[in-house]
Amino acid sequence: MLAAHADWSVAAGKRWLCRARREGAGWRVLAPTPVGDAATLPARLLAESGGAPVVLGVDFPLGLPRAYVARHLLGRVRDFPDFLLKIGDFPEFFEVNQSLATVAPGRPFYPARGRRGMTRAAHAAALGLTSAADLSRACDRATAERPAGAPLFWTLGANQSGKAAIDAWRALLVAPHPALRLWPFAGPLLRLLAPGRVVIAETYPAEALRQLGIGRFGSKRRQGDRATLAGALLRALGGLEACANPALAASIADGFGADPAGEDRFDCLLGVLSVLGVLAGRRPDAPPPDPWLATWEGWVLGQTAAPRAVTPGAVHAA
């Protein structure tokens, strides 16, 4: 079979893919390559696998925050995959708002550019939500092991994921390849593996570092700091019965290059190692038993640490 991870960005030059091929009892992990045409990615991965099962980790959000769903979608849409099928009912959904004046349930992404005084609390209020915490899914929140991720609908700042989600959902999910299955909405990962099928699961590089037992190390944006992790990454590969091909081994030793995409190549290796950990049974292949997670919000593959308590105003119960 084939395991892969795509580090996603709106900029094509910062979209990178790392693949791991099953060889006997282990895995051979290949050096990252550009993702290429996003629309053809599932078909290309299936062709490379020879029709064997494919697991594709992605670092963009898969799911919607429960407070937004509870306020605007319950009773109209069954779950997140059903929402993707009915996205035509929300023709402005992917249009990023210039100002709060045009923010609406069917047009939730904000802001198109930064201005003084912008706050997530005001964004939440414009969507009819109680607090900024309502913009986040459970898996977006900080844990004892790693910091919080950015809310889906927020499109400002270096760590925002909203624009990548817009790009990827349009390319991969709105008119999906028939072989695609979305984890965890379609079921536990290991049960979804089947010939001719591509299972897409959300990963998070900061979470993957913790899953691999690698703590804080400096900045992933600096080549030298990435290079200091060469030994740890090679040990992590060995612990998963995986080996790097020569090109990947050289890239790890070099800190993944000096160009701006080096951090993306680094992240996509972390992502594929996270996928391999779940396939090896070392991390859970299903989310915690909260019905929101498998129907609407999604979860980060392999995450076991509980999110920190949400602030008052967020929705808890299904």
- The reply to whether the predicted model has a pTM over 0.85 is yes
Is 41 exposed, middle or buried (CB count within 10 Å of its CB: 0-12, 13-18, 19+)?
buried
Q: What pLDDT was estimated at residue 159? A: 82
Q: What pLDDT was estimated at residue 310? A: 62
101: tokens are 């004046």
- Number of CB atoms found within 10 A of residue 136's CB: 27
Sketch the domain layout of the chain as residue ranges.
1-89+140-152+159-308
- Number of CB atoms found within 10 A of residue 91's CB: 10
Integer CA distances (angstroms), 301 to 26, 73, 98, 110, 277, in order: 21, 25, 33, 27, 10
Interval 42-93: pLDDT, tens: 999 999 999 999 999 999 999 999 999 999 999 999 999 999 999 999 999 9
Q: What pLDDT was estimated at residue 215? A: 75
- Euclidean distance between CA atoms 123 and 309, whole angstroms: 21
Q: What pLDDT was estimated at residue 255? A: 97
| 81: Cβ contacts below 8 Å, ≥ 6 apart | 182, 185, 186
pLDDT digits (tens), the chain, 318 positions: 999 999 999 888 899 999 999 999 999 999 999 999 999 999 999 999 999 999 999 999 999 999 999 999 999 999 999 999 999 999 999 999 999 999 999 999 999 998 888 999 999 999 999 999 999 999 999 999 888 999 999 999 878 999 999 999 999 999 888 999 999 999 999 999 999 999 999 999 889 999 999 877 889 999 999 999 999 999 999 999 999 999 999 999 999 999 999 999 999 999 999 999 999 999 999 999 999 999 999 999 999 999 988 644 443 332
Interval 151-186: pLDDT, tens: 999 999 878 999 999 999 999 999 888 999 999 999
| 131: Cβ contacts below 8 Å, ≥ 6 apart | 121, 124, 311, 312, 313, 314
